[in-house]
Amino acid sequence: MSPSHASDVPVYNPRNYLNSPATGLKSWLLTQDHKRIGVMFLVAASVFFAVGGLFAMLIRIELLTPGPTIMDAMTYNRLFTLHGVVMIFLFMIPAIPSGFGNFLVPLMLGAKDVAFPKLNLLSFYLYMLGAVVALYGMIHGGADTGWTFYTPYSTTTVTKVVPILLGAFILGFSSILTGLNFIVTTHTMRAPGIGWNRVPLFVWSIYATSIIQILATPVLGMTLLLVAVENAFGWGIFDPARGGDPVLFQHFFWFYSHPAVYIMVLPAMAVISEVVCAFSRKNIFGYKAVAYSSLGIAFVGFFTWGHHLFVSGQSAFDAGVFGVLSMFVGIFTAIKVFNWTATLYQGSIAFKTPFAYFVGFLFFLVFGGMTGVAVATVSLDVHWHDTYFVVAHFHFIMVGATVMAFLAALHYWFPKITGRMYPEGWGLVGAVMVILGFNFTFIPQFLLGNEGMPRRYFSYPERFWALNVASTAGASVLAMGLVIVLVYLLISLKWGPIAGPNPWHSRGYEWDTASPPLPENFEETPVYTRGPHEYDEDSYANPPPVAPEPKHAS
C-alpha cells in the first residue's frame, strides 16, 4: 500500500473497532461494543433476508402455473407462513433499528456507547435464541397459519405453531430491550452541543420507533403466548367452542401489528432523511416537521388497528372511525415526503447508489401509501380484503420502502462500517434491477387482486395465469439484482478501495470520526457548534479534502 503524503489520499485507520481490542471470534461474541453488536445484527438479519427470499422464490415458482407446480397445498401453506415469519420478525423489524441503529445512534450523539451495553448484547442473544426456537418449529413441521396466526385455526392446527409463537415472543424481548436502550441513550448521552433540536433525524426516527417497540411489543408477546398456551393445553381464551372470542385475538394482534408496520417503516424514514441531505448537499427542509412527524406517526399508529377488522363483524361506526384515523397516518407521512422533496429543490444532487434507492423508496412509499388510503376506505376494502391487492399494498409500502432504505443504508454507511468503498457502477446496476424487479413483481399483483384472486391459495383459475407469470418474472429480476449486490459488497469487503474518514463529504455527526471508527468512537468527546445536516452553499462544488473536524473539548 502506498504511504500517504498528501492529505487527500485516503488512509486506512490502523486502529479501529474491527481490529481492536482483539480480532478473535470470542472478542466478537462477548463484545459490548455497540458497533460490533450492530454488525452482528446486520449479518444475522441479512442471512435471514436471504432465507426468506429463498422461500419467496419457491412461492413464486409454485404460482407460475395454475394448479400444482412444484409442491402440494400443505407445503405451500407452510412456505408462505415461514416466508412471512422470517421476513417480518427476523429481518424487517430488527434490520435497521438493531443493526444500523446500534452502529449509528451512539456515533450520531457523540457518545461512547449505548446506555446499557450488557443489555445490548443480551438483546442480540435473545434475537438469536428466538430465531433458533422459531426455526426449530419451522424445520420440524412448520406452521400453516400465515404470519398473522388467526384464531381459532391457529389454536387447533396440528402443525408446529407453539415453537414459532414462543420464538416470536422471545424476539419481542429483544426488540423491547433495544428500544429501551435507544430511548435512554438519546436522553442521557448526547454530547455537549447536541440539544434536542440538533438530534440527527435518523436518531429522531429511531427514537419514535423505540416508543412503539416498548409500548406495543408486550401486548403482542402476551397474545402470542395465549395462543401458544391454548394450542398446547386448550385453555379456551380464543376458542369459540369454549366460549372464547376469536375476534379478540384480532384486536390484540393488530394493536401490536399495525404499529409494528411503523416499526418497519419509521427506521426506513430515518435512513432516508440522512441520505436526502447527504446527496443533495442541503440542510433538511423543515427539520422540526420531519422530526416531530415521526412522533405523530408513532402516536396515531396506535389508533388504527381496527382497519384490519372491517370484515370481522365490526360495526359500521367503528369501521368509519378506524378508516378516518388511518388516514391521519397518511398526513404525517405526506409531511415527510413534502419535506424530502423540498430538500432536493436546488440541491446539487449526486446520483450515487444510495440516492437511487432513495428514488425507489419515494416511489414505493407514495404509491403504497395511496393504496393504503384506498384500502382504508371501508367500501373499497370489502372488495379487496384478502386478495392479492392487499398483498401488493403491504409489500409495496412495507417491503418496498424498508428494503430500499436498508440497501440505501448499506451503501451509504458501507465505508463507515468497513472503511472501504463499493464499486459505484455495479451499485447502480444492482439498484436499477432491484427497483424494476420489485415493480414487476407487485404491480401485476395489484391487478390480480382487483380481478379477485384471493391470497394464500396455491392454485388459481387460468384467467390469472399471464399476470402470475409476469409477477414471477419480476421476482426473478429482483432476486438477481440482490445477488449482484451481495456479490460486489462481499468482494469490496476485502478488495474495495480505502474510503477515508468521510468519502461522501457528509456533514452527519457520525462522519466526524475515523472510518471505521475507533473502538471508543472518538478521540475525545466532541463538542458541536452546528446542526447535523448543515451544508455550506458550495460544499459540494468544493468538497473539503478531509472530513471537517469537530471542535474538541479542551
Partner 1 sequence: MQASPLAHHFENIEKQSHAERLGMWLFLASEVLLFTALFAAYAVYRYLYSDAFAEASRAIETWFGLVNTIILVTSSFTVALGLNEAVKGNGKKTGLWFAVSVAFAIAFLALKAVEYSHHFQEGQLPGRYYSFHELQAPGASLFFSLYFLITGLHGVHVIVGMTILAVVGVKAARGKYTAAYHTPVELAGLYWHLVDLIWIFVFPLIYLV
Binding site for partner 1 (CB under 8 A): 111-113, 115-117, 176, 180-181, 183-185, 187-189, 214-219, 221-223, 226, 229-230, 233-237, 239, 242-245, 248, 252, 525
Task: Find the binding residues for ligand HEM in span 385-414 (CB under 6 A).
Answer: 385, 390, 393-394, 397-398
DSSP H or E run through 526:
strand 526-527
Q: How far apart are CA 165 and CA 149, in angstroms?
A: 9
* Binding-site member from 372, 400, 496, 531 for ligand HEM (CB under 6 A): 372
Write the binding mask 261 to 280 for ligand HEM: x where contact by CB under 6 A, - elsewhere.
x--xx---------------
User: b/e for 270-281, b at 16 or more Cβ within 10 A?
Assistant: bbbbbbbbbbbb
Q: How far apart are CA 381 and CA 307, in angstroms?
A: 9
Examine residue 220 and tell whether it contacts ligand HEM (CB under 6 A).
no
Q: Which residues pair with 70 in a beta bridge?
A: none
Please answer whether residues 169 and 268 qualify as being in contact, where contact means their C-beta atoms are separated by less than 8 angstroms: no
398 binds, among Cu ion, ligand HEM, partner 1, none (CB under 5 to 8 A by kind): ligand HEM
Neighbours of 33 (CB within 10 A): 26
* Min dist. Cβ of residue 342 to Cu ion (A): 28
Please answer whether residues 438 and 360 qualify as being in contact, where contact means their C-beta atoms are separated by less than 8 angstroms: yes
Task: Find the binding residues for ligand HEM in span 114-133 (CB under 6 A).
Answer: none
The three-class DSSP label of residue 552 is: strand
Give the count of residues interacting with ligand HEM (CB under 6 A): 23
What grid cell was written down for 366? Answer: 407514495
Q: Which is nearer to ligand HEM, 169 or 396 (CB)?
A: 396
Please answer whether residues 144 and 136 qualify as being in contact, where contact means their C-beta atoms are separated by less than 8 angstroms: no
Sequence-distant (≥ 6) Cβ neighbours of residue 399 within 8 angstroms: 87, 92
Please answer whether residues 11 and 498 qualify as being in contact, where contact means their C-beta atoms are separated by less than 8 angstroms: yes
* Binding-site member from 60, 160, 190, 258 for Cu ion (CB under 5 A): 258
* Min dist. Cβ of residue 230 to partner 1 (A): 7
* Binding-site member from 60, 83, 282, 307 for ligand HEM (CB under 6 A): 307
Write the binding mask 325 to 364 for ligand HEM: x where contact by CB under 6 A, - elsewhere.
-xx-xx----------------------------------
Task: Find the binding residues for ligand HEM in span 141-170 (CB under 6 A).
Answer: 148
From first CA to last CA, the distance across the chain in angstroms is 35
Please count the CA atoms within 13 angstroms of the CA of 417 that sit on its side-chain side.
26
Stretch that binds ligand HEM, among 193-201, 236-244, 284-292, 378-386 (CB under 6 A): 378-386
Sequence-distant (≥ 6) Cβ neighbours of residue 232 within 8 angstroms: 162
* Min dist. Cβ of residue 366 to ligand HEM (A): 11
- List residues near ligand HEM by CB under 6 A: 148, 261, 264-265, 307-308, 326-327, 329-330, 369, 372-373, 375-376, 381, 384-385, 390, 393-394, 397-398
